Chain A
Amino acid sequence: MNTNTALQQDRHLSLETRPCSRGFEEFRDVLINDGNISRYSAKCQNANTNNVIGSSIVRSGKTFVITSITGGIVEETLSANNEDDVGEEELITLSEGSNRLAKNASVHPVVEIQRGRVGGPTDEEMITSERLHKTLLHSGILKKTALRVLCGVRRTDENGKTTKIYSDEILEEERKISESNNRRWSYVLYAKIQVFSRNGPIFDLCWNSLISALKSVQLPRAFLDERAADLKIAVRTRGRSMTIRETYDILCDPEKSLPLQLNQHELGYGSNYGIIDIDPLAQLAKEENEMDVDKPTSVLLADIETEAEESSIYSKLSLITNKDGQFKSATIIGGGSKITPEMIKRCISLSKERSKDIESKI
């Protein structure tokens, strides 16, 4: 940024306005909806071809972020002698204390920022994706157990009518049928996060978008074909040659789905702050008596926007917290301007307010 705009900005700031005409501690207005993108959206028209299972559109000022979540299924590698599931569960509980992260799961985000160029991902895109992935993993919002596939069985009877049976929906005597299948699957979630009209730091926007998309995720019920499932019951064929294939094709139920279980009390929302010194020379003369001699000339700006602010502010804070002030992530970069404890306190209380506001909008 050249000195001219820097001076201009300093002048602006000394008049207590920002280039974007917001107040120092004023945030951009946020609009959040699900964009009617997911197959489970209320007004979805293309449920039969849509494989997006959760979505959100977050608009903050002119910037908007579209997140769509798709899923996959991966077979878990189980230990060889996995006869007794209870023992396995016990083992997991034992190791919980030492390895807390092992219980947490995350999504696989790919962030793309529209910038009018083609080519591989930029540094910012890679860093943001990585940070979203890591933050979600460490936050404990998503647990591995929430992604477990409760696999059902599809049965085809003599008349060619198909029924699907899920272990948690069926009667006790039928349960053992589905449990005889000793393989285990997990859902894998992918998030495609697209940022348009980027006009400032995007991490907190992407985070908020990702969280609100995750809240809308419905995991489809999955089932195996009875014919393919390795069951020890008579397979009813209709005079057809049935080959049991090597690969187990796991299919998803086009209608039934369960909401993704998130750790509600761990949910937090992001916001960012910047601290900038106002060059005393740029300050317009004020009345002598109003001027406090000891008053610091640095100011706290909430929700950094515009290139001018982004390039001149080196001291930045990025916080993810819920409305009670429980932190999930806090990044403080001191550069240039001094960050005082008072400012951090102020940021914390602002971020609580912001978090409350965002939560009310989802």
Chain B
Amino acid sequence: MSVQDRRRILGPAEAKPLRFAVDSETSIPEEGRTDDKKTGKESVFISTDLVTNANGSSYLEYMDGNSDQVLVMSSVFGPRPLRGSFQSKASVSIQFKEVTLEHFNTGEIKEICTFLTNVFNAVINIEKYPKSGIDIFIDLIQHSNSNPAEEENIIKILPTCINSITMALVDAGIEIIDLVSAGSVDNSVVAFIRNGHEIVGIWSDDDKVSDISRLIEDCRVKYLQNKQTLVQYLR
């Protein structure tokens, strides 16, 4: 089914996107990068109220020890009236979009959205907002990966997305039962509330995982750090 999109200016159909050659002998380590690696410090920059026409928004810049960056912006629209039949609880929707690069395919994006919706269904006090819709939009501004061998990985951006949505919800003044934050270890992300006593989401793609309790414990440590950062910002 090839229907021409007449609503966007798409350019010639036979054009092929630029493909960059993979050079076997490209020198990967740059001087600046190795220096950063040594410090190995994670840093987060948080700002809220960036998007003025949303009810709440947040912008997070996360820099990990290898100077990989994740820049995420979240905006919350709502609670706003829902059309249609009566709903006794708010309906939460989460949309994910990549602003600049397009690395993930639509299936993966839908997976992230469904996962995040489930996490935030558990956290937002949806009983408080009957007949309302809360629409959350995540814009991934940038996601850089200094390790070229690794593929673009959802796991790397998920904790930042979760933290960013939490901040946006706080900024929008929407009732949540606790600050949700997530920690990740290798290829697994676990989202917690209540000081790590309750899990609201788990996403593990790590096929080497042998001890699930161990994994959760490791993620909990990271969660507590992340949550501390959020609390510090809000204070």
Contact = CB atoms under 8 A, between A and B. Distances in A.
Interface of A: 35-37, 44-46, 48-53, 55, 62, 66, 68, 70-75, 108-110, 114-118, 120-121, 126, 129-130, 133, 154, 161-162, 188, 190, 192, 194, 196-199, 220, 222-223, 249-255
Contacts of A223: 21
A251 B135 contact: no
Given A118-B95, A252-B20, A254-B26, A45 B144 contact: yes
Interface in B34-73: 50-54, 67-69, 73
B6 to A, nearest CB: 9
Contact of B144 (A46, A73, A114): A46
Nearest to B136: A116
B100 A252 contact: no
Contact of A109 (B9, B23, B148): B9
A188 B137 contact: no
Contact of B52 (A121, A126, A199): A199
Given A121-B8, A255-B23, 16 more contacts: A49-B101, A49-B152, A50-B144, A51-B18, A73-B15, A74-B12, A114-B54, A117-B77, A126-B7, A154-B21, A192-B100, A197-B50, A250-B16, A253-B20, A254-B22, A255-B26
Interface of B: 7-12, 14-26, 28, 33, 50-54, 67-69, 73, 75, 77-78, 95, 99-101, 103, 135, 137, 139, 141-146, 148, 152
Contacts of A253: 20-21
Contacts of B9: 108-110, 129-130, 133
A108 B139 CA distance: 22
Given A114-B75, A197-B50, A251 B21 contact: yes
A252 B100 CA distance: 20
A191 B20 CA distance: 19
A70 B17 contact: yes
Nearest to A61: B52
Contacts of B146: 45-46
Given A253-B21, A254-B21, A255-B26, A74 B7 contact: no
A48 B99 contact: no
A37 B14 contact: no
B23 A74 contact: no
Contacts of A48: 20, 26, 28, 148
Which of A45, A51, A161, A252: most chain B CB closer than 10 A?
A45
A51 B77 contact: no
A255 B10 CA distance: 28
A252 B99 contact: no
Contacts of A121: 7-8
B22 A50 contact: no
Contacts of A251: 19-21
A283 B100 CA distance: 48
Nearest to A253: B21
Given A70-B18, A114-B75, A50 B101 contact: yes
